[in-house]
Amino acid sequence: MNNLDLSYAKIAVIGSGTMGIGIAQLAMVNGHSTVVYDLDREKTKQAVEGLRQTFAKLVEKGKITDEQAQQAVSRLTIADQIEALTNVDLVIEAVVEKLEVKQALFQQLAAICSEHTIFASNTSSISVTAIAAGIPHPERMVGLHFFNPAPVMKLVEIVQGLKTPIDLCQSLKSLMLAWHKIPVLTKSTPGFIVNRIARPFYAEAFRALQEQVTTYDQLDYALKQCGGFAMGPCELTDLIGQDVNFSVTQSVYEAFFYEPRYRPSLIQKELVDAGTWGRKSKQGFYRYDEKNQYLTFQPQAIVTQSFQVDVQVKGRWSQLPGLLKRLALHNGTQNQENIIQIDDIDLRLSQGESANLQYLSRKTVLMDWHHNFTQAQAVVLSHNLLCQADDLAKIEAFFSQYQINVVWISDHPALLTLRTIVLLINEACEASLHGIATMEDIDNAMRYGVNYPKGPYQWMMQLGAQYVLQTLDNVYAIYGEEKYRASLYLKQYVAKQQSVTAGSSKNLTECA
């Protein structure tokens, strides 16, 4: 299939739910003759009326002109029978997420449409290869996964099934760029990019709760404050719906033949079983009022304390470039461990260790990573059993001088933010190992699909691949669980970096 120019394609959208009507709106606004079909005619009628109101609001806000709104609406046709889709160029289905329903729909379409009609599924997790099975000319089947709400969210995953030619994917990429979207190309694999790589964001949060490391609201605060995430995992799953998020996790877990990395959480299952699904049930992790407002964690007001301690710095602290500047401290030497010694207490940036299992002879406090220490409002810390109340007070007083709050949690390897991020990186590396998508597309998918502050590979470059690998190795050594095993792709990446560095050093020596 050669590259197609879809600039003037006639588009059919099947399904008049929120997603379907949102896709139709995009097609109409971007100049396409658009047909909407749904078995439920009353639902379609209501959806179209809602679409007209949406255009009226856009005009009122000055986003589009009245003329543009009228032109867009004039491009819309409502189909009462599926046979009305015979002459369209591109069909996008947005029906229920069931394989048998989608297969039956496309088999019905194949009987009435030209063999050149492109079939696209808005599926978020079902195999495009499986949907195409049994359909004449399966090479025309492709995934076109929009994110909700489709008119607002930038990302579109273009999913290549086993028989989908890359030319078709590139044609749809050009179309999505014309629609001002950010398209990413992915192989048809469970969860595609976003719903696969995002699993650790939820799984590690629920694990911390199950291990009684912290509370749900404190956890959310830590991920937002230290990680820079817009929402914490408990808030986000309450918004998505605990039942929906749990179902996606189960689907990915089963599709990967029960790969331990995707195992669902008993913490979340309890919420689902209890019917506490989040905002829509007015209770999930949080309780919601009539306006969907809820109480979040707020650290105590900082009381600056004056005290005298001996502070010594070891190491460069390169993973937290703003820390030493914020604390008005000077670098130690390059080859030393990263330690800020406060009297007889060692403050260390976590690299996946356990404070209690690995630091048996010195008072040790482990600190979580922070995405922007120059503006940090709080740090998340844990400590070993040797630290007493006076030691903890001393650490709190030290940070209070710089208007930084201390949030204490139980000993937890790699703490909260660092652990989440290195596992997101590791999942991205697994996707790269299997050729699912490029590094750039993976980063774009996570930034624009779930609004992460950075993509996994951007985090890896910031932290350093060797640091990420060492952190994963340390966590793996403690738990001994397959889910924490470092990806071969990450190991190979680090080895390549070390080889290049060694080669450069050798060349410099020879030149000298």
Over residues 35-51, mean pLDDT = 94
Residue 500 pLDDT greater than 90, yes or no: no
> Which pLDDT band holds residue 1 (cuts at 50, 70, 90)?
low
The beta strands (E) that lie in 111-257 are given as 118-121, 141-146, 155-160, 182-187
Query: Could you tell me the pTM of the whole model?
Result: 0.95
- Express each pLDDT in 295-323 by its tens digit: 999 998 888 877 788 999 999 999 999 99
Q: How far is CA 139 from CA 87, 112, 117, in A?
A: 19, 17, 11
Q: Is 145 a catalytic residue?
A: yes
Cα 445 to Cα 439: distance, rounded to the nearest angstrom: 10
CATH of span 11-188: 3.40.50.720
Of the candidates 32, 121, 122, 157, the residue annotated as catalytic is: 157
How many whole angstroms separate alpha carbon 462 and alpha carbon 444? Answer: 16
The pLDDT, as a whole number, for residue 306 is 73
Q: How confident is the model at residue 512 (pLDDT cuts 50, 70, 90)?
A: low
User: How many Cα atoms within 13 Å fall on the side-chain side of residue 308?
Assistant: 0
Q: What is the pLDDT of residue 303?
A: 84
| Catalytic, out of 195, 384, 432, 444 | 195
Rounded to an integer, the average pLDDT of 455-475 is 98
Q: Given this model, what pLDDT does residue 134 score? A: 85
Among this protein's residues, is 124 annotated catalytic? yes
Band of residue 332 on the pLDDT scale cut at 50, 70, 90: confident
Q: 93, 121, 145, 353: which is the annotated catalytic residue?
A: 145
d(CA 363, CA 361): 7
pLDDT tens-digit readout, 373-425: 999 999 999 999 999 999 999 999 999 999 999 999 999 999 999 999 999 99
Beta bridge mates, 146: 156
Confidence of residue 288 (pLDDT cuts 50, 70, 90): very high
pLDDT band (50, 70, 90) for residue 336 = confident
Residues of the chain with CATH 3.30.750.190: 311-408
Model confidence at 505, pLDDT cuts 50, 70, 90, reads: low
Q: Which CATH number, 3.30.70.1560, 1.10.1040.50, 3.40.50.300, 1.10.287.3510, labels domain 420-502?
A: 1.10.1040.50
| Cα distance between residue 411 and residue 381, in whole Å | 9
pLDDT level of residue 508 (50, 70, 90 thresholds): low
What dotted CATH number matches 311-408? 3.30.750.190
Percent of the chain past pLDDT 90, that is, above it, reads 92
Is the pLDDT confidence value at 51 over 90? yes
Enumerate the β-bridge partners of residue 185.
Answer: 158
Q: How many CB atoms lie within 10 A of CB 510?
A: 7
Question: Is residue 120 over pLDDT 70?
Answer: yes
Query: Which of 234, 228, 218, 224 has its CA nearest to residue 381?
Result: 218
Encoded amino acid at 130, one letter: A
Q: How confident is the model at residue 501 (pLDDT cuts 50, 70, 90)?
A: confident
At 506 the pLDDT is 62
Q: Cα–Cα distances in Å, from 509 out to 495, 499, 502, 503, 512?
A: 21, 15, 11, 10, 5
- Token couple for 209: 């709760």
407 φ/ψ angles, rounded to the nearest 5 degrees = -110, 110
Interval 190-217 mean pLDDT? 97
Q: Prior bond to 456 cis, omega within 30?
A: no
pLDDT level of residue 282 (50, 70, 90 thresholds):
very high
pLDDT for position 118:
98
For 319-461, where are the E strands, in sequence order?
339-342, 345-349, 363-367, 378-383, 405-408
CB 168 within 8 A of CB 1: yes
The strand ranges marked E within 221-286 are none
Residue spans in the chain of domains classed CATH 3.40.50.720: 11-188
Tell me, letter by letter, the H, E, C secondary structure of 116-141. Answer: CCEEEECCCCCCHHHHHCCCCCHHHE
Q: What is the pLDDT of residue 331?
A: 86
The pLDDT value given to residue 511: 55
Where are the domain boundaries for CATH 1.10.1040.50 in the chain?
Answer: 420-502
Tokens 């990429």 belong to 173
The residue annotated as part of the active site, out of 16, 122, 124, 382, is 124
